Amino acid sequence: MKTVLLGVTGCIAAYKACEVVRGLQKAGVQVKVVMTGNATAFVGPLTFHALTGQPVATGFDWEGPAARVPDGSGGAGDPIPHITLGQSADLFLIAPCTADVMAKIAGGIADDLLTSTALAATAPLMIAPAMNVHMYENAATQENMAKLRQRGVAFIEADDGYLACGDVGRGRLADPDAIVAAALEALAAKQDLAGKRVLITAGPTIEPIDPARYISNRSSGKTGFALAAEAAERGGQVTLVTGPVALGDPDDVETVHVETAREMLQAVEERFDGADIAIFTAAVCDGRPEAFSPRKLKKGADDEALGRIELVSNPDILATMGARKRPGQVVVGFAAETEDLEANAAKKLSAKGADLIVANLVGEGRAFGTDTNEVLLVSSEGAEALPLMEKTRLAAVLLDRLAVL
């Protein structure tokens, strides 16, 4: 039986954690609860003890009749509960998580049992934030969330809506059913790509002008890297061809580093025929300078050359591979648009020979460089809109779709 350690922090949404407990239990998951002292002002520990049948950790104390029975696994009588709690669970889920607790975890502060457990836990950590919209949008909160994501912490995005304080905006705890679904997905060790060979492109390409300058775009590579990591976890034999990004290579993935569109095409051509699934997330530059200057162009002396850089078209990697797709091979393309999202994606689906186009709007802080995305899946069967979600979550959703094609 899988075990979730549920962390509950001091927030008006703490009562919704009871629904999370019930949802997990209905799915056959054992739940243990650790609460901050502030959380007990909103929901009593006895409530969680009654729901779970397990001792409830509050501070460094235990609540409920079962707390009187030492069990040596993070229960009463355990001299180091912050160690055993996180190591005996398959997932540490904090829902709701306040800005304060999130900041402490990001900063490595361990001043109560919950934050000490987060620091010592070997189980994956998942956070469902809940707070006022202005607290959520504050730069400090966003920096803490970004820092935790970089460390591999999964987030269940807060909802938009009417908040307990009367404000309206993002910050409301995600629906308990959504939290349960995300937790169950994290617990599931899917192997639906076992024996499959998966080829993924990611990041931007760069096209040099001279030794100091180049043409590129805003792609961070986060979606492609998330897809590669998720595909590998599902048992796939994954090759990732990536342009220059500021991301570490995923574990258990063959990672091929390239710079230009032509280098990416060559790497893809060498591997495409052996792939069962090919996912082209890379933002390939449409054009490159016609001529490369072997020396740095100078202001003044080279103003004419700098002011008029002639471009020639780069190869269309998705169209090239789509044209040579074999029966049974799945090809997925991505489309970044600023308008007419569905219409443009449908045109790309037909023109490029793809089985699926994942389309999103860009600009105004959307998609490029962010940790979240809101996309439209366009296939010959129609369009499916997906809500805003973490790119790691999007990777899982997308591979769920592809695994059954």
Q: Which two tokens stand for residue 298?
A: 């100078």
What element of type H or E holds 94?
strand 91-97
Cβ-Cβ contacts under 8 Å for 258 (sequence gap 6 or more): 205, 241, 242, 243, 264, 266, 267
Residue among 144, 140, 142, 149 nearest 170 (CA): 142
CA distances from 197 to 257, 329, 336, 347 (A): 19, 10, 26, 28
List beta partners, residue 239: 199, 254
Please give the Cα distance from 1 to 78 (Å, whole number).
22
DSSP 80: -
First-residue to last-residue Cα distance in the chain:
31
Residue among 168, 183, 151 nearest 5 (CA): 183
Reply yes or no: is the peptide bond before residue 211 cis, omega within 30 of 0: no
Q: Do residues 38 and 25 lie in contact, with contact meaning Cβ atoms separated by under 8 Å?
A: no
For the question of residue 97 being annotated catalytic, the response is no
Q: Do residues 292 and 298 lie in contact, with contact meaning Cβ atoms separated by under 8 Å?
A: no
DSSP 199: E
Cβ-Cβ contacts under 8 Å for 390 (sequence gap 6 or more): 149, 154, 155, 156, 157, 371, 372
Catalytic residue among 11, 97, 165, 285: 165
Please give the Cα distance from 195 to 308 (Å, whole number).
50
Cβ-Cβ contacts under 8 Å for 167 (sequence gap 6 or more): 132, 133, 134
Tally Cβ neighbours within 10 Å of residue 274: 10
Tell me the backbone φ, ψ of residue 286, rounded to 5 degrees.
Answer: -70, -30
Which active-site residues does the annotation give? 165
